Structures are given as structure tokens and as C-alpha cells.
Amino acid sequence: MRHDLCASSDIPQGKSKAIQAGDTKLVVYHLSDGFYATQARCTHMFASLGKGKIIEDKCVQCPLHRARFDIRTGEVSEWANFPPGVQLLNVVRGEKALQTWPVSEEDGRLFVEL
């Protein structure tokens, strides 16, 4: 199903925005080559990626345990590594990619296909 998210001008390049699309919470990112959407919660301990940091126009870093995910594909770039000792939890919470969705821009509006 297609959802109208917001004006493309609402998300400056290098920034992100948490948005609700129907029943789905997601984060929309504006990278140098376009707009991308991922699920809103980290797959490690479910922290909000809306508060995450975009790293090198490529990854989102979770604000809780610093797991990094490729924004374009959702793949894990680096699993949770902070604070020291969190690796013990990683035995139970194995690496898991983020769900992603295609974002399109039409007439200054962003749309996502869920």
C-alpha cells in the first residue's frame, strides 16, 4: 500500500525523520542519492532509530548500543558494541537486518510502498 509521508523539503539532506505510515512506524532518511526508509526500531534492543545518527551518508547508528545498519539495504554494518560488556547480550540478540521500503518523490512529496 502506498502512503503519503511528507514534503521532501521537510527532510534536509543528511537528516532523518520518524514518520507513521498507516500502522507502521518508520524513519525516512535523506542521503546524497535520494530518500530511503527503514523500520523505526533497532533490531538489537528496539531503541528508536529516529534518534540515531547518520554516519558517512551510508549508515544509521543506534543511539543505545551503537549498532550500525546500511540505510539503503538494512544490512548490519556493525553489531552492538557499546558499552563494554554488551557483547554478552549479543549472544542472545544475534545480528538482524532492518526492514526497508522504497521511497519515491513526486511533485515535492515523499511516498512509501509498504
pLDDT in tens, 48-65: 999 999 999 999 999 999
Cβ proximity of 91 and 97 under 8 Å: no
Q: What pLDDT is stored for residue 83 in this prediction?
A: 81
pTM: 0.92
Q: What pLDDT is stored for residue 70 in this prediction?
A: 98
Q: What pLDDT is stored for residue 92 in this prediction?
A: 74
Which phi-psi region, left, alpha or beta, contains residue 41 (left: φ > 0; alpha: ψ -120 to 50)? beta
Query: Domain residues of the chain, as ranges?
Result: 2-113
Q: What pLDDT is stored for residue 47 in this prediction?
A: 94
Q: What pLDDT is stored for residue 19 in this prediction?
A: 98
Pairing of strands 103-106, 100-101: unpaired
How many whole angstroms separate alpha carbon 57 and alpha carbon 10? 18
How many whole angstroms separate alpha carbon 11 and alpha carbon 19? 11
Q: Does domain 2-113 have CATH number 2.60.40.10?
A: no
Pairing of strands 59-61, 34-39: unpaired
Give the residues of the chain that fall short of pLDDT 50. none
DSSP conformational letter for 97: P
